[in-house]
Structure 1
Amino acid sequence: MIYFVPAWNKKIQSGMSTDDLMGQIQSFMSSDVAYKILISDYMPELRYFLHRYDLLESSYVSIFDELQTIKHVEQKSLTLKDLNFPDTATFSYTPFNILVYQEEALIGQITLGEASYISEVTYISGGKVTLVEIYDDRGFISSRDIYEDGNFCYKEYLNQQEHWVIRTYKDAACEVNEEYSAGLRQRYYESLEEIKFEKLESYYEQLGADDSIIVSLTEKNLPYFQKSKVLPKMTLSLFGNRLSSKIKTQKELEEVTGQCFAVIVDSNQNMQKVKAFTEESKIHRISPYDTRFELSRSHELKEEVIYFESRDMTKEAIGQAIEILFSYLVDVFDNCEVERSFRIIIRMASHPLISAFSAKIRALFIEKFPEEMPLVEELLPMLTGENSIDATLLKKTNPEVKGVMQLWKSFDLQIINSDDELFRIINETRLIIDLREEPDLFTQIAGISAGIPQINQVETEYVQAYKNGLVIADWTELYQGLSYYLDRLKHWQEARMFAVQQIKKYSGVALREKICQILGGINE
């Protein structure tokens, strides 16, 4: 049996695929290979999370369910009447939560999770938080945060009878309730991570000779691996930038990778990091994602969508890319006899960056179109408001202004908060641009799956020059890359056909076979 121990942190729980084992687990669900997921993170919304990623039917164990002695729970729906608010309280609904008032005083806030289930209830007295209850998605209180004078004191993890089992304090120290110890060996622990390690080790002790473990490495669990009796059976997964470059962290990484069975990495950057102190035969680079998406429908759309990944780029580099994109659009506007429509989706890292680069784009337009832009900015609210003027009439009376307005509306700066949002964008995208030192792996695999050519500045195994994308040497080649794929349908179709051939290479079956091969074939 293969045991998967993922790191489903706060970010991935909110909807972003930042975990390396998700695709691997999905690849085993349709196979005859025995596997089990050991979920060690505290996840009161676990059922909704698993459903979102098609993992609800997977074989899994929740470590916190065992710690909290939660068994055989039938899911039930909570209502506002089930909460501890006075009968005379009134409820005010907002897009994100429900505010609770008693005689015009705010006494609570209710946060809704997926499918509008009650996920968190905050109690307020005298303008200060006194208690926060966190609800399991099965309909009961899972934990509570205790406050004094508005300041957090400790957190309690509860059993089904609402007795506390574990308390965690501000300094991360933990206390175990001796009456409900859930088999834990100590009363006090340095951290919750230490408790999770003890519980996981109890599972590992039951492993047979042919069993394997694949564990996601994180900054928190790394220090405990040296204590594990089964480290020689472990395959450690190093993903993204989850580990810092601190000397202490690198020393711990060197020690555990020297003793483990194998190391899986997702990028050349992590490959080089581990190669510095680990024998190369133990290191394996694989994609944590598979090509499970549908081919994009971008060829069916009149609008040509360009997806530009700007996160982790310098402001100067983002500015250069925007200038080239702007220059390309202007040239098409000036010289193309056939009317073309564009949408440039720029994925930004923060709202301040959106504001800064929106201002830059506006400055580019004002410099290029000094006569048209005042009228564009005057008319644009009329086109989007309730009393909008007729766009056709605008085109007849002032086609130049209409054209500039179309260009202005082409730029769409966004923060993407979930995989679902990215999927929808990729499904309509004509071209992907990622010019960072380490292109986003998830986007690269999604691009292959959707049959979309990609422009990168570094060579990777996923994008081959002039087959399913371009690897440009410097910024001056970006303009030519845009023209290569957008002005000539032939090149775009060739890239799509090559991507279709690549889909099999990065399929779930191929991913599963590679994992089994890494584990020595013992699980095939």
Structure 2
Amino acid sequence: MTIHIIPEWHDNAMRVPEFDDSLHQTQLFLSQGQDVILTIIDFLPNLNQVMLKNNLTAADVWSVYDVLQRVRLTDDRPVAITDFTWPQQAQFIYLPDRILVQVEDVQYATVWLDQAWQARIVAIDLWSAAGRTQQLLVDYRGFISRVTTFDTQGEVVRRDYLTPSGAVAVQETGDSGAVTTQQVWTTQTHFKNMAELVAVALSQHLASMPATDYIIMAQSQRATFLVNQVAPQQPVILSYQSQRTDPQLAQALLLHISGTVAYAVTDTQAQYDKIVAQLANPDELAVIPPYPVIATMQPSAQQPVVLIYWVAPSLEQADFEAVQAAMISQPEAIVFIETDQAHTAFDALIREASQTATNEHGLVDRASQEAYQGRFQFLPPQSEAKRLQYMSTARVLLDLGSAPDQFMQAAALTYGVPQINQTATPYVLPEKNGQIVTDQLSLVVALQHYLLAPQPNQLVRETAHELAQAHSDEYLWIKWQQVFNKIKQQRASS
């Protein structure tokens, strides 16, 4: 059995996807010795970073744009600034994330460097007196993969997708999206848009695969279009992840399963409850979390700093003041608040509270005020690796959202960290490895309990280990096998 996973990575052309169901499903299946083909329908000139950073190199890859652009190269080949031809008078100004190219003190080009691997060139913007004229995207295998041409108003005129030799393989018109192409596997040269061309190429590919394989497709409006256009012979499983489906639900977009889809999975019970009402057959939807828990029972050393990690997509003043009150009982406690919300108002609360912060002698001075302010650290949204790093040293995970962050809850189980939530989830057994709070007073009490509790907390760690068994990679694989078996039964009875 081969599993074809079709991610929804169109927003990741220049960055590595994070907290993505397709990515973690691929990791899970590979860990269980399954044959996986990542079927890439997105233009991803940085695909090697996705594969390397997430340990996916054991998976085979089929890329529709490699087919369209006739790319057979496989080796990683970074290009250098000297691989391009520049005007003789060009001057190069090196900055951390880019190289500015000037000719006679006029901007000629901006060479963009990869954020993770600073020496790698990923794109080049060309400029004239009227503004940006073209953008060149560099494929990780060492060639210009796409050239976007702009008019004087900065609007896209066309996009040319190139072969490694520099020939135009596909041309996409900027205003209408119409596509012109020359392919050996189809006589059609004109398509209404790129999605239609991708659908034809994907259909050709899947037609050559065994009908007994499985397709797991990240659910989206584009996925619905592709399923209906391609109608694969293989059973299709849609993967509904909250971060994709919530925006669709907010716009009242139907998430129905068409007749060509055999089954569906979603990431949480809360998401299941939202989606199941739209399905004709609720028995064709299962809850399978994308993030397995790897439990560790190794004893943790006493941490010199008492760290509260607070995941807060939205911050409420009453909750913030409750956390401030709880921290009075533990002078060594600091809180890292991960949020993309503006926190100017909360900075003012911190400064106000610092006016009465005393030192060890009971006096208020500048040092005591700065020390108090330093106990509250705001962080922008973090990567998976950074979050795991923070959780490995955290005393308590705080998440007061209506839908607690599933990745962080799994990470808390991994490291035996207690959790405080407002919403019950399968990741917390109240009074054992966490608390479900209902108001600010119960929040203060629960937080003080964990700030003052001895480390390591044996009950928390034992409960976390117990819950981890129900979220391990082996357990999640069993749930996937149950889905595959149900599909086999459906097909046998039809």
TM-score after normalising by structure 1: 0.84
Which is worse superposed, 489-498 or 79-88?
489-498
Instruction: Tell me the residue number matched to 1:305.
Output: 307
Instruction: Tell me the residue number matched to 1:166.
Output: 170
1:237 equivalent in alignment to 2:251: no
Q: 2-side partners of 1:396 and 1:468: how far apart? A: 37
Q: 1:14 to 1:298 in 2, by over 3 A?
A: farther
Q: 2-side partners of 1:231 and 1:451: how far apart? A: 45
Q: Retained in 2: the 8 A contact 1:231–1:260?
A: no
Q: Aligned with 1:197: secondary structure?
A: helix
1:411 equivalent in alignment to 2:380: no
Q: 1:397 to 1:288 in 2, by over 3 A?
A: closer
Q: 1:245 to 1:170 in 2, by over 3 A?
A: farther
Q: Aligned with 2:318: secondary structure?
A: helix
Query: 1:326 is matched by which residue type in structure 2?
Result: Q
- Residues 66-215 of structure 1 correspond to what in structure 2 (within 5 A)? 66-113=67-114, 114-115=116-117, 116-126=119-129, 128-149=131-152, 151=154, 152-171=156-175, 173-178=177-182, 181=183, 183-184=185-186, 186-215=188-217
Q: 1-side partners of 2:54 and 2:234: how far apart? A: 31
- Residues 358-437 of structure 1 correspond to what in structure 2 (within 5 A)? 358-366=347-355, 368-369=356-357, 402-437=367-402
Match of 1:291 among 290, 293, 296: 293
Instruction: Tell me the residue number matched to 1:343.
Output: 334
Query: 2:132 is matched by which residue type in structure 1?
Result: V
Q: Which ranges of structure 1 fall in alignment gaps of 5 or more residues? A: 334-340, 373-393
Q: 2-side partners of 1:218 and 1:2: how far apart? A: 19
Q: 1:359 to 1:84 in 2, by over 3 A?
A: farther
Q: Aligned with 2:253: secondary structure?
A: helix
Q: 1-side partners of 2:326 and 2:362: how far apart? A: 26
Shift of residue 248, structure 1, vs aligned partner: 6.7
Q: Retained in 1: the 8 A contact 2:35–2:59?
A: no
Instruction: Tell me the residue number matched to 1:388.
Output: none
Q: 2-side partners of 1:19 and 1:267: how far apart? A: 14
Shift of residue 298, structure 1, vs aligned partner: 6.9
The share of aligned pairs that are identical, in percent, is 22
Q: Aligned with 1:458: secondary structure?
A: coil
Q: Aligned with 1:346: secondary structure?
A: strand
Which is worse superposed, 220-229 or 430-439?
220-229
Shift of residue 7, structure 1, vs aligned partner: 1.4
Q: 1-side partners of 2:407 and 2:325: how far apart? A: 29
Shift of residue 396, structure 1, vs aligned partner: 7.6
RMSD (CA atoms): 2.7
Q: Aligned with 2:292: secondary structure?
A: coil
Q: 1:131 to 1:11 in 2, by over 3 A?
A: closer
Match of 2:465 among 494, 500, 508: 500
Query: 2:390 is matched by which residue type in structure 1?
Result: I
Which is worse superposed, 107-116 or 355-364?
355-364
Q: Which ranges of structure 2 fall in alignment gaps of 5 or more residues? A: 489-494
Q: Aligned with 2:479: secondary structure?
A: helix
1:320 equivalent in alignment to 2:323: no
Q: Retained in 2: the 8 A contact 1:15–1:417?
A: no
Shift of residue 211, structure 1, vs aligned partner: 1.5
Match of 2:446 among 458, 467, 481: 481
Query: 1:20 is matched by which residue type in structure 2?
Result: D
Instruction: Tell me the residue number matched to 2:491.
Output: none
Q: 1:332 to 1:396 in 2, by over 3 A?
A: closer
Q: 1-side partners of 2:219 and 2:211: how far apart? A: 23
Q: 1:120 to 1:294 in 2, by over 3 A?
A: farther
The aligned length equals 481
Give 1 or 2: higher helix fraction: 1
Q: 1-side partners of 2:459 and 2:68: how far apart? A: 55
Q: 2-side partners of 1:477 and 1:52: how far apart? A: 41
Which is worse superposed, 503-512 or 460-469?
503-512
1:511 equivalent in alignment to 2:466: no
Q: 1-side partners of 2:70 and 2:234: how far apart? A: 31
Shift of residue 132, structure 1, vs aligned partner: 0.9
Q: Retained in 1: the 8 A contact 2:354–2:372?
A: no
Q: Aligned with 1:221: secondary structure?
A: helix
Query: 1:119 is matched by which residue type in structure 2?
Result: V
Shift of residue 40, structure 1, vs aligned partner: 1.3
* Residues 144-177 of structure 1: per-residue CA shift (max 9 Å, x gap): 1112225221211111111112222334623123
Q: Retained in 2: the 8 A contact 1:516–1:522?
A: no
Shift of residue 413, structure 1, vs aligned partner: 0.3
Q: Retained in 2: the 8 A contact 1:470–1:481?
A: yes
TM-score after normalising by structure 2: 0.89
* Residues 203-227 of structure 1: per-residue CA shift (max 9 Å, x gap): 2223434221111011333233233
Q: Aligned with 1:302: secondary structure?
A: coil
Instruction: Tell me the residue number matched to 1:447.
Output: 412
Q: 1:103 to 1:400 in 2, by over 3 A?
A: closer
